[in-house]
Every structure is written in structure tokens, then in C-alpha cells.
Structure 1
Amino acid sequence: MVHKDKVVRIDGFGKRQVGKDAQVGPDTVFQLASLSKPLASTVVAGAVGDKVVAWNDEVAELLPDFALKDRWVTEHATVADLFAHRSGLPDHAGDLLEDLGYDQEYIFRHLRLEPLSPFRASYAYTNFGVTAAGEAVADAAGTSWEKLSEDLLYKPAGMDATSSRFSDYENAENKAVTHVRAADGTWEAKYVRDPDAQSPAGGASSTVRDMSLWLRLQLADGKLGGDRIIAADPLERTHLPEVVSQPPPAPAGRAGFYGLGWNVSYDDLGRLRLSHSGAFALGAHTNVTMLPGEQLGIVVLTNGEPIGLADAIAADFIDTAQHGMPTTDWLALIGKVYAQTDAAERSPTDYTEPPGDAADPRADSAYTGTYRNSYYGPLTVTESDGELTMALGPKPTRFRLTHYDGDTFFFETVGENATGPSGVTFRGDGNGKATQVTIEAFDKNGLGTFRRG
């Protein structure tokens, strides 16, 4: 917690890993998830201040392989457009490719296949849009994103435990291991999340001690201990509304905005509030919230999957500072939002209960073979011991297919964007052979059909 350039509280609670004695402290390294975005926009503000780039530079001029579906949008989308999520790319574009193991280069090349919403007139949260902007700035500086972050922010600010490389987090001796909640309510360290492919958007790691330095810098217009770290004007630009992210819920309601790596909102008295959450479904949840006019801010880092805790702690703190007490049960409210979001992303079909009149499948040989898709790459269906398996991605990733009804099977999704059981529907020709297959979980943007050949 920071107030008027002073750290008024810094503390740690709980364990770094369940079943082990090591305690969390101010110097424990956590994965930041999407709290990396306002950190990244601070880095870019530093590059803008150094005249390396400008916020309104076109990304395609800086990153030659960058392209979107519309040529005019490709030529005009700027660093600011991508940091503000207003390029027209659909929500979380490219994330499923990362789940399958594709690298950053492959994902960038395939963003051009994503359908676009109106440019600069729509908002959709995209990790790889922000990542492309960050990498474009690093290319302009003649270095990597990881090195640029070190040179412009982490080292000058004394954030010695902060990194944009997964390996630095992974090798840290004092690190918080990520956890997910089991069906019985207990927590387990089950997954490892390597976010290097989207480093500017979600790949940073840090401690609350280091993040308190960054908070002080943010609240002091780019200065730390009297020293200028980041130029004030380009940093101030990150705090301004760039796009409506949440329309007013009622005619008399207030809209929510997104700036450059920040959620931007205003309270009933017109006070500016800046915030951002970070969430890895595989085991991390973080939050930063600031009231710049009050020179007040808080950073909360946790090593459990998002259930609302980090956001609720920050909301309780800001409420208490403004009103003397929390105005609502934030944990219950925000936890319900996360649960509803998770439920909305799951298939409406309950694949664990086949219909009573389920039709038999064709012979396994009707489904086996290789199917092509320009976005996801080839998909291969094989049969072994009476069981069908599909494989896709560069590794490849393999999924067991379980029959549901007729030509429809299902599989368990995996990775950061897993949504539970999802349908796999084959379609065939008059000869009884399947000629195409559509994967429900991959078809949100109409890109999930694979064709044989």
C-alpha cells in the first residue's frame, strides 16, 4: 500500500506452496498475469519519452510481419490502438493457439485470419494485440521486449526481482507456486503457466516490494526518489480514456473506459480511478488499483486461481480509504462475477449425459485421417484399441474423443483457456467418409472447421 510516495504497508500472508512450510513475504516472486499490461505500457511510455517511438506510430511499420484481416486497418493500427484493445481483433484472439503450443511468431502470422469488429469503435480484450504492440516497440529499439523492459524500467527503478522472462520466475528461489482449487475445495499446485509467447501482455513476474516502487513511480508522474525514470507526458497518456470498455448500464449510469494498459473510471465525485486485474486460470490472481488524485495505491498478488480475492482486497482498501469501511461484500460479489464468466464460457451441452435416443457412430475408419485448417494447422484423427484420438498443434497435443451422439464426440479442453467438455462434430459424404470436422471450443470466431485433404 502506497500513500504520498511512502509505502505504508508491505506484507505477505500464507504459503508459497501447499504442503510446504515456506511462507509468502514481501520478496516472494509472483506471476503477474495481465497486471503485466500496465507495467508494459509504462515501458512503452519510457520508449516514447526517449523518442524511440510515438504512441501513434503504426505497428505494421515497426513489425513487418504484423497484419490484420483488413488491409486498411493493418496500415493504420497504432501502438496506442493495440494497447487500448480497439484494433477490432476479437476477444482474446490468438490465445487458443498459445494453448496448443504455437509460438509467438506463428500466432502473429495468423492474426490476419481473425474476423474484425469496427476499428477504433469497438473494444475487445486481446493479449496478442498488446503483445504485438510491445514487440513492435522493442524491434524499433533494436532489442527484445525482455531487455527493453529491464533497460527502461526495471533496472532504473531498482526493481531487481522483476522480469519479463518466465525462466527468471521459474528459477527464483523465493517464488509463489501457482495453485488451482480442487472439487473438494482444497488447493493444489497442479499446473505450470509459461506465458513467454505473450510476455508484454501477461509474462511479467515481480514482488510486492518491487511493485511498490512502480506504484510510487506511477503516482509521482514517472519520478522515483526525485529521479526521473519515465517521461511524464507519455506516462500521463496511459492514464487517459481511449475507448469505452463498458457502456453505461442505465441512462444515468457511468461508462467504463480503457486507457493504455489501464482500466479507467471515475467515481461519483469525478475522482479518477485506475486499475487492472491479472488472472491465470492455471493459478494466479493479481490486482493494482490507484487513486492518483489522492496519491494512493495498492498492489495485491496471489498464487491461486481467480476467485475474486485480489480484486476484493483492493476494493475493500479503496472503499475504506474513501468511506471509512467497505461499501459491500466485495469478495462475494466479485467471486460471483468470476464464476458466472467461467460458466458462460462452457458449452451449453452436457456431454456427460448422452441423449436417450443417441445414434450410433460410423465405423472408426470413417473418421480417421488428416484434416486441414489454415488457422489452427493440421488435425489428425487416429484409432487405437477401439479408441479415437485427435492431435493438433506443433507438439502435437492429443485429445481422447468420447462418443456422444451420431457423428458428434467430445473431448476435455486443456490449458489456460480450458472450458470443460467440448463437442467435435464430423460431417461426411455419400460414401460414408467424414470430410470435415468442427471443434466447438475453437469455433467461437468461425475458425474451428477442419477439412480433409
Structure 2
Amino acid sequence: MRHVLFLLLLATPGTIAFGQNKALDKKLKGFDAYVASVMHDWSVPGVSVAIVYKNKIVLSKGYGYRDKEKKLPVTPQTLFAIGSCTKAFTAAGLCLLEDEGKLELDKPVRDYLPDFKLQDDYVSANLTSRDLLCHRSGLPRHDLLWYGAPFSRRELYERLQYLEPSKPFRTAYQYQNLMFMVAGMVAGQVTHQSWEDFTRDRFLIPLEMTSTNFSVNDLQQARDFATGYSLQNDTVKVIPYMNIDALGPAGAINSSADDMSHWLVALINGGRYKGKKVLSENSIRQLQTPTMTTPVEVPVRYDESFYNSYGLGWVITSYRGHVRVDHGGNIDGFSASTCFLPKDSIGVVVLSNMNGTPLPAIVRSQVLDRMLGLPLTDWNGRLLADENKNKDLQARVKKEEDDLHRVKDTKPSHPLAAFAGKFEHPAYGVVEITAEGNSLKADLHGLKTDLAHYHYDVFQATGKKYFQSEKFQFITGLDGSIDAIHIRLEPSVKDIEFKRKLQLLDVAAPTLANYTGDYDFGGQVARVYIKELTKLYLFVPGQPEYELAATKPNEFKIKILEGFQVRFEVDATGKANELVSIQPNGTFRAKRK
């Protein structure tokens, strides 16, 4: 109880309409104590809340700490990462451009980005901006392509063609951050600006969102910004900021309760803020028009809730009989909720500096109950009960699954050193495996974990932060070496295959000359020769010429043929006397003529 009271003392005064409207005073009586209690229950260091009613900001207030260690309080101006609440700005931007006749939401993306390419040619040619904004591309999340990755926005865009879809085009809602990135690129192409500059010019400046920015790099330069935290073994710990600049249009905005309240005023007042038209009523209507149904529990668990649909950058549902438009946001160390009730002219934003917490949704629902004058629902108690039950259940199910599938008392087929190396996927990039003592370690563009032997050539991630007990299945190639790794990075498609990235050798021209000549395969003569001084080629009659790439001394791979290798047997002087062709269908020898 002392902890709750302490948090109450840290409620930072902000813009409050108390005293001006006795009905509002009554509705929000005890709200500060409620927020403090929920923060205590979910171990959240800091929260900022703004409430809008009609065209007025009736509350904008900070609670707790933006920096727990330094005891710096949250204020209404404290910047938090808002994560996927960013998507609403990206969607609004495209609607605005359609109103201005600069694009059409139902025209193919290729009309604006001619080189847009997904794995499926039909989808590549027909996917529209509207498809991007309502998550119906057929692609599942594939989040580990971008999360923590060093790739630029352009590089992520170019890698989309290598991602496997899991559903037919336009048949299912599947949340997809990368498609919102593409939507931002469409806006940039049409306006000849970056998405960031376009969003700043058309929304942040007219809405007087003066503190809002687009990068955690800029966040940390601000006067008043929050540190991100996570709950690890029941202890609140600082976690590093995650830079997602490349994915910006899907989730990189940082904002404050004060700034976000201006956005809400525009959304519930026909696109106007302080008399300025920021968005048309048609655009706002499009944003909140249901486009795709989302997966839900049937029947709905709670009477207050309803089935969800997705518009353009917003979730549309009913809350206790009132139309609710909202979106959550989560990125390392931060959780957020932005919500408005269009028919009731109520808006709420809740920002927090705790990773993956339901607190923003809990506080949002409390605000809605109060503002609508409804009996208060104990969402906090319900979700606490669910959390405790689910935590125990998930741990038990995971252990049972591991025990069921594990074959005991097996050993790897190779020494651990043979599993080490770099393995590459054309979209996800490189995962590096290192052998240290009696264990393996994995590193996928900075996401690291130890690997423990599971059975045979399967190892299991043991890191708590990344990969979460995922299995790494090592595959032996035809030559007997570890050739690939299969990892279930996206559960709804086949395991992602990372092929060993061979470290090619530079071979001096005089050494290459030792391999040149004619080789007789029992009547069929192949020729080995040099081009461009340092490139070795193999020509077999009736086939194209093949460039050879050195992988080991006297050993080469055929560059364009998977699984084809060439080894030269040499004499004491280093001169080749025999060529050994190692192919998927056998090994063939040819004597030098």
C-alpha cells in the first residue's frame, strides 16, 4: 500500500479541465489512484495519459518515473516510443494523398514503385496501397527480417521477394509491419520526400506536435524522454532502445501525451485542429471503415467486448455498445494505446515505459467506462488472473512438448567445430554459429543465444530474450559437411533455411594455371581454362561454361549449380593430374590428357 501511495505523490500535474466541468470532475474522481494501483500491479515505472472530450483536452498527466534510477518523473511532455500507433499516421498520409489526387488506394503499388516485388508474381503486380494498410498481402509477420537487423529501408524492400506467404492474397488478415514500411515508401515516392518529412509537414506541424520525432536517436536528445524497461524474473530492468528507423512507417514515432492529444482532437472533430483542416472527413471515414475481419475468440469471452475488424491503420470494434477505434503499440521497453470513440467524441492515449504490458489497454478501458458513465469493469483483475493462468499453462505445455519429441541419449553427427560457420538466407541475412568449448552460440544480426544439444543434429536456443527455446536443425550435405540450418523463425510457413556461406579463397594466377587443361571422362573431354587473368572455368561439351570458385586448396564449387563441386588431384609440384567432379547423382573422375 505504501508503494501505491508513493506513486500517487508522483502524479505530475498537466493540462486538466477539472473545476470547469463538475460532471467531468465526478467522472474522473479517483482516477489517479486507479492508475497508480495498476502501475503497481504490473510493475510499470512510468505512464502518461491524455483524455480528449469533443474538442477539449480534459486531462494530460504523467505518473511515476520516466527514469526509475534517476527518479525523474513522467510529465505530459515526456516522450515515449508509441510503436505501431505510428501506423495510423502512415495510413492517414495515403488517404490525404488520395484526397489530393496524387494516388489511388486501389491502384497497384507498382504504379508508384515499379520495382516492387514479392515472391508471387500475381500479388506483386496486383497488390494495392489499400492492401498494404489492412494487412491482407498474404504474408505473415516475418518480423525477424527487420528486428535488430542492420538493413536499410531500401534493403528490406529488396528482400521482400524472398519471403514466403502463408495465405492466399486477400483471403486473410495477417499483421504485417513490412507492408506498412512499403506504404510509407509509396508516400515518399509520390511526394518526392522521405516519409518522415512528409509526415512532419502534413501532420506534426499543423497539429502542433512539436516534440514528436521519428527515431530513438532523436528521442534520446530530447529534454524530457522516457527510459524503456522490461520485467525479467519479477525484476524491473532497463533495456536498450531498439532502433527501427528502417521500418519507420510501421512503428518508429516517439511522442508524448500532450502531442498525441492533438492528434485525437483532429480525429474526433472531422479532421480539424484549432480551426485548421488537417484531414478530410472522407479520409477519417476511410481510416475507420472495416476492411478485414481479424482473428478472434468465439464466442467472445467478455460481454463488454465484441469481434474486431481492421480498417486502415486502426482496429474497429464495439466496446459496451459504443464504436471504438484503437491501435496498440509495442516496441522494446514501451507499450502504448491510442483510442477514440467517434460517435461519443472521446479520445484516450496511454503511454508507458514497460515492455509488453497490458496496462495501456487496462487504463484505456477504465477511462472509457468513466467517460461514458458506465459501471466500472475490473479489467485489471481479469487480466491479472489471465496472466497468472497463462504463464503456468504455457510453461507446462512447452515442457511437455519438448519431452514428447526429444529422443534421449543421442549425439551430434559431427564434432561441434564442424557446425560453426556463417549461414545465409536471401531475406533474413546471415546467422553465425560459433563453437566455444562444449557448446554452440548463434548470432542473427545481433540477436544472440546459446544453443544446447537437443537430439541428433538439433540444438535448442537457451537464451531468455531471443529465439525462446527455438530449435536449430543442422543439415548434412551430400559431401558429408554441415550444409544448412533450418530455423522456425516464422511459425506459419516452412522453416527458414540458411545455407552455409562458403568463404571463397583468392587463388593466384600461377596456381590456377596448374589446373588448366583437358580432362577425359571416359570419352567425353572437358576443358579447364582461365579468363580475365584470375577466373577459372570448366567447359563440358553440350553445356554452358561454368565459373569455378575456390573453397579450399585444390577444391572449387560451381558458382551457379547448387551441390556441384570440383576437386583437383595434384602431384608433388602442384600440377593437376586428375579432376574429380562431385555431383548430387554421384562422383566422377577424369584423367588429365
Matches within 5 A, 1:355-374: 357-361=408-412, 362-374=414-426
For the 8 Å contact 2:93–2:187, the answer to whether it is kept is no
Per-residue CA deviations over 1:54-96 (Å, capped at 9, x if unaligned) read 3223222222332222222212211111111111111x23444
Higher mean alpha-carbon deviation, 251-260 vs 359-368, is at 251-260
Instruction: Pick the aligned partner of 1:30 from 80, 87, 96.
Output: 80
Q: Paired residue for 1:265?
A: 317
Per-residue CA deviations over 1:110-136 (Å, capped at 9, x if unaligned) read 222223312222100011111111211
- Counterpart CA distance in 1 for 2:444 and 2:360 is 35
- Counterpart CA distance in 1 for 2:197 and 2:238 is 30
Matches within 5 A, 1:183-194: 183=233, 185-194=234-243
For the 8 Å contact 2:449–2:467, the answer to whether it is kept is no
Deviation at 1:331, TM superposition (A): 5.5
Number of residue pairs the alignment of both structures matches: 445
Deviation at 1:403, TM superposition (A): 2.4
- Counterpart CA distance in 1 for 2:498 and 2:388 is 32
- Counterpart CA distance in 1 for 2:477 and 2:467 is 31
Q: Paired residue for 2:162?
A: 113
Q: For the structure 1 residues 108 and 336, does the alpha-carbon distance in structure 2 shift closer, same or farther, using more than 3 Å as the test?
A: farther
> Is 1:153 aligned to residue 203 of structure 2?
yes
Matches within 5 A, 1:203-214: 203-214=252-263
For the 8 Å contact 1:242–1:257, the answer to whether it is kept is yes
Query: Percent of aligned positions with the same letter in both sequences?
Result: 24
Amino acid at match of 1:449: E
Deviation at 1:284, TM superposition (A): 0.6
Instruction: Pick the aligned partner of 1:60 from 88, 110, 123.
Output: 110
Amino acid at match of 1:359: T
For the 8 Å contact 1:358–1:404, the answer to whether it is kept is no
> Is 1:433 aligned to residue 481 of structure 2?
yes
Instruction: Find the residue that maps to 2:65 and give its secondary structure.
Output: coil
Deviation at 1:290, TM superposition (A): 1.1
> Is 1:279 aligned to residue 324 of structure 2?
no
Matches within 5 A, 1:237-316: 237-246=286-295, 249-250=298-299, 255-267=307-319, 269=321, 271-280=322-331, 282-316=332-366
Per-residue CA deviations over 1:162-204 (Å, capped at 9, x if unaligned) read 1223322121120011110121x23121221112121111100
Q: Paired residue for 2:27?
A: none
Instruction: Pick the aligned partner of 2:148 from 83, 96, 99.
Output: 99
Q: Paired residue for 2:265?
A: 216
Q: Paired residue for 1:381?
A: 433
Which one has the largest radius of gyration? Answer: 2
Deviation at 1:46, TM superposition (A): 2.7
Per-residue CA deviations over 1:9-67 (Å, capped at 9, x if unaligned) read 11100001111121001111111011111132223333333333232232222223322
Instruction: Pick the aligned partner of 1:5 from 44, 55, 60.
Output: 55
- Counterpart CA distance in 2 for 1:341 and 1:55 is 42
- Counterpart CA distance in 1 for 2:147 and 2:153 is 8
Instruction: Pick the aligned partner of 2:120 from 64, 70, 76.
Output: 70
Deviation at 1:332, TM superposition (A): 3.5
TM-score between the two structures when normalised by the length of structure 1? 0.88
- Counterpart CA distance in 2 for 1:122 and 1:301 is 30
Amino acid at match of 2:473: T
Q: Which structure is higher in strand share? A: 2
Per-residue CA deviations over 1:387-419 (Å, capped at 9, x if unaligned) read 4334444xx65544332322122234687xx34
- Counterpart CA distance in 2 for 1:373 and 1:424 is 14
- Counterpart CA distance in 2 for 1:363 and 1:268 is 61
For the 8 Å contact 2:90–2:183, the answer to whether it is kept is no
Deviation at 1:383, TM superposition (A): 3.2
Q: For the structure 1 residues 389 and 255, does the alpha-carbon distance in structure 2 shift closer, same or farther, using more than 3 Å as the test?
A: closer
Deviation at 1:347, TM superposition (A): 9.5
Instruction: Find the residue that maps to 2:73 and give its secondary structure.
Output: coil
- Counterpart CA distance in 1 for 2:237 and 2:434 is 33
Q: CA RMSD in A?
A: 3.1
For the 8 Å contact 2:333–2:355, the answer to whether it is kept is yes
Instruction: Find the residue that maps to 2:62 and give its secondary structure.
Output: coil
> Is 1:17 aligned to residue 67 of structure 2?
yes
TM-score between the two structures when normalised by the length of structure 2? 0.69
